[in-house]
Chains A and B, each alone.
Chain A
Amino acid sequence: AQTVTQSQPEMSVQEAETVTLSCTYDTSESDYYLFWYKQPPSRQMILVIRQEAYKQQNATENRFSVNFQKAAKSFSLKISDSQLGDAAMYFCAYRSLQTGANNLFFGTGTRLTVIP
């Protein structure tokens, strides 16, 4: 079974600074998606960024970018120019493209605090 590990339960960053959240995963599959989701106090999970495993190029979405290391099974999220609105729980998630299943496997989350 796939497992996703987030080793940082909590992180903090000064406003306007850069922070990196870590995620590792374990799988024997070659085709899959990786995601970072944000869960603010409103509880709604919001997709931040996604990465297709077959793509060598790291995904970027404005201030958010990932460092995807397929061989190392590592998928970190970098937030640049941190803003107060970035404060939330961040979840790393995995979805297989080989099993026909649509479910996501989530990590335990990292709570990000942004300090004004």
Chain B
Amino acid sequence: KAGVTQTPRYLIKTRGQQVTLSCSPISGHRSVSWYQQTPGQGLQFLFEYFSETQRNKGNFPGRFSGRQFSNSRSEMNVSTLELGDSALYLCASSLAGVGDTEAFFGQGTRLTVV
């Protein structure tokens, strides 16, 4: 069974640009959550998608958005990139979300904003 796949693994963008990150969950999993990991703020929850709907959202500005497709694949978009957006972005998938005993993580996308 394939794990959670995040693409690309590494990304370098210029301040002011926008970026799209992709996450393919484990087959059969319908919940996808996104996290930002930085040395200063640690791991912070961005949002969760379930059945193509955003079910929960963390405390991030509107420049951070996402969506989920009918095959459960999810994308995360950051517009007008700032230097502080440099981080490891992790995606986690689970069967249905609430009540699941385990979330499976991908290897992350390392975003560097210059």
Residues of chain A whose beta carbon lies under 8 Å from any beta carbon of chain B: 33, 37, 42-47, 50, 91, 97, 100-109
Q: B42 touching A102 by the CB < 8 A rule?
A: no
The complex places the Cα of A43 from the Cα of B50 at a distance, in Å, of: 25
**Dominant SS among interface residues on chain A:** loop
Residues of chain B whose beta carbon lies under 8 Å from any beta carbon of chain A: 31, 33, 35, 42-43, 45, 48, 50, 55-56, 58, 88, 90, 92, 94, 97-108, 110
Given contacts A43-B88, A102-B56, contact A91 B43 (CB under 8 A): yes
**Dominant SS among interface residues on chain B:** strand
The number of residue pairs between A and B whose CB atoms lie closer than 8 Å in the complex comes to: 57
| Chain B hits for A108, CB < 8 A | 42
Q: A104 touching B45 by the CB < 8 A rule?
A: yes
Q: A102 touching B100 by the CB < 8 A rule?
A: yes
Q: A102 touching B101 by the CB < 8 A rule?
A: no
Q: Which of B48, B98, B102 contacts A50 (CB 8 A)?
A: B102
Q: B108 touching A50 by the CB < 8 A rule?
A: no
| Chain A hits for B56, CB < 8 A | 101-103
Q: Quick one: closest B residue to A45, CB to CB?
A: B105
The complex places the Cα of A45 from the Cα of B104 at a distance, in Å, of: 8
Q: Quick one: closest B residue to A106, CB to CB?
A: B43
- Output the least CB separation between A25 and chain B (Å): 14
The complex places the Cα of A109 from the Cα of B40 at a distance, in Å, of: 12
Q: B106 touching A104 by the CB < 8 A rule?
A: no
Q: A104 touching B88 by the CB < 8 A rule?
A: no
The complex places the Cα of A45 from the Cα of B103 at a distance, in Å, of: 10
| Chain B hits for A46, CB < 8 A | 105
Q: B107 touching A44 by the CB < 8 A rule?
A: yes
- Output the least CB separation between A101 and chain B (Å): 5
Given contacts A91-B43, A108-B42, A109-B42, contact A102 B106 (CB under 8 A): no
For the complex of A and B, list the 8 residue pairs with the smallest distance between their C-beta atoms, beginning with the closest: A45-B105, A102-B97, A106-B43, A103-B45, A44-B107, A101-B56, A43-B108, A108-B42
